[in-house]
């Protein structure tokens, strides 16, 4: 957790500047944002499976709905 000595307060890792400085006084805080930044999560394969299934279902419902008109 980045701690600013002059301001005497903790900063959220996302609140400090990219250089790891306090946004209020500009002093270097203990942890640079790169160290504490959360790693971007990979989208799991079953997410795309669910999206594909939903797309196929909606396409089928659309075809079925159009077919009812004739």
- C-alpha to C-alpha distances, 9 to 20, 22, 30, 45, nearest whole angstrom: 14, 10, 12, 41
Judged by CB under 5 A, the residue of 19, 25, 51, 58 near Zn ion is 25
Q: Which is nearer to Zn ion, 4 or 33 (CB)?
A: 4
22 binds Zn ion (CB under 5 A): yes
Q: Which is nearer to Zn ion, 23 or 55 (CB)?
A: 23
Q: How far apart are CA 24 and CA 10, in angstroms?
A: 12
Q: Which is nearer to Zn ion, 6 or 55 (CB)?
A: 6
Judged by CB under 5 A, the residue of 24, 37, 53, 56 near Zn ion is 24
Q: How far apart are CA 31 and CA 22, in angstroms?
A: 11
């Amino acid at each position: 957790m980045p701690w600013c000595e002059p301001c005497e307060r903790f900063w959220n890792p996302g609140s400090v500047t990219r250089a790891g400085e306090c946004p209020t006084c500009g002093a270097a805080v203990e942890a640079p944002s790169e160290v504490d930044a959360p790693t971007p999560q990979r989208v799991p394969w079953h997410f795309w499976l669910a999206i594909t299934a939903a797309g196929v279902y909606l396409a089928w419902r659309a075809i079925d709905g159009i077919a009812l008109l004739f």
